[in-house]
Structure 1
Amino acid sequence: MEWFVLISIGLAAGTIGSLIGLGGGVIIVPSLLYFSMYTNFLHNISPQVAVGTSLVIMIFTGLSSTLAYLKHKTVDYKSGLIFFLGSGPGGMVGAWVNQALNMQTFNIFFGIFMIFVSILLMVNNKLKPMPLNADNGIHRHFTDNRGREWEYGFRPMMAIIIAFLVGFSSGLFGIGGGSLMVPVMLLLFMFPPHVAVATSMFMIFLSSIVSSATHISLGNINWHYALLLIPGAWVGARLGAYINMKLASKTVVHILRFILILVGLRLIYQGITG
């Protein structure tokens, strides 16, 4: 039965992640913890193992997305590598801090984080990008497939600091980080949307490797569960892309926001009463 549960979790995480570009970790981590605590299907999953295992899955989803965006030439590698200078060390620090959290503390912090992500999804489309500052250290130009010209840029030090915080949250909670990095790239750095998503996935792929390596060194990976999650996540990503073409994106975001708030509140409640 456990193989069915894990493939289903991977399928759900991959589908949701592909639908709106949100890291599948927000599905994988709470699902693993729930089935470990309240059912007999999965056993002995601590917050550390749930996070470490989730980050291994993020490597494959990040790689799959990056390879797909390669065909459309929307990955800004130079910017992605600059972001990785922050997200890589951030992921390592987050993984080490994760070791200090017990189940109750982890549930409270992760629940608060999920509610924060849901609020970010609420206001993301209502915020307007900041005007591009001519003094920004790095400038980029991009022409999309419709011939539209885009100009964007950022200060490297500011970008590295923000990416460090994103990487820290990834290593701490086992999420991909795209839910945080993409809005930053759109609103602060004025990235074209398709370039922001593609470049974020490239950064997530790299930082997940570093975060996973740290969790591996700490013994936080359940390889049996990871191998069962990966196929579901891979198929789910393809399924999510198909559904995305059929379902209005606003509907998907509304559904996900509702789910994140409910799960976040439940985790906080478990942490307080546990």
Structure 2
Amino acid sequence: MSIFFYTAVGLISATFGSLVGLGGGIIIVPALVYLGPLLLGQPISVANAVGTSLAVLIFTALSSTLTFVKQKRVDFKSGWIYFITCGPGSMLGAYTTQFINAKSFQLSFGIFMLFMAILLIIRDRLKPLNVKWRIERTYTDSQGKIFQYGYSLLPALAIGLAVGFISGLFGIGGGSLFVPAMVLLFRYPPHVATATSMFVILLSSIMGSFTHLGLGEVDLWMVLGLAPSAVVGGWLGALIASRLSSSALLWVLRITFVVVAIKMIWEGLTIS
């Protein structure tokens, strides 16, 4: 039963997580906390679930990032800029896990996620931000459509810090904030936003995992159980993403963020 549980959770979370740039922790953490006692015969604390999820995320992000690199969808220049603050932010978030009231934070973050989801839904009706960013980029998708996007150093560093902190705190990768911010604020095409998000998540999850490991919040046996299928799922999710058009991937993002927001609000209101 444990082998089936690890395989299913690792595969599903990694496939879905790499498809939309979340990382998969949004599935791993509740699966370990709520299903672990039933299927593994042992209670798993939220802190251990978060730490273990973040460690597994290394394998998911590595697999999907390598696939995205082959597809030439990772913007490494902007990715390294985000990581300057995302890495330390991940370590800070991981350290804060032991102090914060996770219930109230889940509620607040869930409401914020719902707001971001609504922005993604009405995105086509919104006027683009009248901002000429200092750094400009262009990207041509598989259908020949040309996208122009850009960013500036200080906003990019601020977003990286917020993403890293959330990643370390919840073990969810941070893409739930990263991808919509990149798409809505900097006008990244969805494919580039997803791919670049996974690259930054790979780097920040390594740093956050070391902090959780130092606090004794990583179950290495669980990591070994989840990692093999997570590697396959990371590759599969990136492959599926490459087959979707930009508009189709954007709709997947919209639905995903609504579901994640509702889940976090529900847990913030009901779970003791």
Q: TM-score band (shorter)?
A: 0.7 to 0.9
Q: Secondary structure at the match of 1:39?
A: helix
Moved more, 138-147 or 69-78: 138-147
8 Å contact from structure 1 (residues 86, 163) kept in 2: yes
1:168-220 deviation per Cα after TM superposition (whole angstroms, max 9, x unaligned): 00000001111211111111111122211111111111111111111112221
User: CA 1:252–1:137 in 2, change beyond 3 Å: closer, same or farther?
Assistant: closer
Judge conservation of contact 2:148–2:187 (CA < 8 Å) in 1: yes
Name the residue aligned to 2:129: 131
Describe the shift of the 1:66–1:48 C-alpha distance in structure 2 as closer, same or farther (beyond 3 A). Answer: same
Cα deviation code 1:3-61 (max 9, x no counterpart): 3222222122123224433331111111111134x526242422221111111111111
Q: Distance in 1 between matches of 2:162 and 2:154?
A: 13
Question: What percentage of residue pairs aligned between the two structures are identical?
Answer: 44
Q: Does 1:204 align with 2:201?
A: yes
TM-score by length of 2: 0.84
User: Quick one: distance in 1 between partners of 2:107 and 2:12?
Assistant: 19
| 8 A contact 2:149–2:188 mirrored in 1 | yes
Q: Please, which moves more after superposition, 234-243 or 20-29? A: 234-243
**Equivalent residues in 2 for 1:13-92, closer than 5 Å:** 13-36=13-36, 39=38, 41-92=40-91
Counting only pairs closer than 5 Å after superposition, residues 161-176 of structure 1 correspond to structure 2 as: 161-176=158-173
Number of corresponding residues: 265
Do 2:113 and 2:260's aligned partners in 1 also have CA atoms closer than 8 Å?
Answer: no
Q: Distance in 2 between matches of 1:58 and 1:80?
A: 17
Counterpart residue number, 2:11:
11
CA RMSD of aligned residues (A): 2.8
| 2:109 aligned to which of 113, 121, 134 | 113
- Opposite residue 262 of structure 2, the aligned amino acid is I
Aligned to 1:93: 92
How big is each residue's C-alpha offset from its partner over 1:43-102, in whole Å with a ceiling of 9 and x where there is no partner? 24222211111111111111111111111212111100000012111101101111214x
Aligned partner of residue 159 in structure 1, secondary structure: helix
Judge conservation of contact 2:87–2:204 (CA < 8 Å) in 1.
Answer: yes
CA deviations 1:84-127 (Å, max 9, x no partner) are 012111101101111214xxx32443355345435533441312
> What is the letter of the counterpart of residue 53 of structure 2?
S
Matched residues in 1 for 2:192 and 2:154: separation? 20
Give yes or no for the alignment of 1:233 onto 2:234: no
- The Cα shift of 1:131 comes to 3.2
- Letter of the 1:109 partner, please give it: F
Distance in 1 between the 2:232 and 2:128 partners?
Answer: 37
How many Å separate the matches in 1 of 2:159 and 2:77?
16
Note the C-alpha offset of 1:269: 1.3
Q: Distance in 2 between matches of 1:256 and 1:150?
A: 23
In the alignment, the residues of structure 2 paired with residue 265 and residue 2 of structure 1 have an alpha-carbon distance, to the nearest angstrom, of 28
Instruction: Structure 2: give runs of 5+ residues left out of the alignment.
Output: none
Name the residue aligned to 2:140: 143
Indicate if the aligned counterparts of 1:57 and 1:226 stay in contact, CA closer than 8 A. yes
Q: Which amino acid aligns with 1:106?
A: A
Query: Helix, strand or coil for the counterpart of 2:29?
Result: helix
Residue of structure 1 equivalent to 2:189: 192
Q: What are the ranges of 5 or more consecutive residues in structure 1 without an aligned counterpart? A: none
Quick check: 2:50–2:169 contact (8 Å CA) kept in 1?
yes
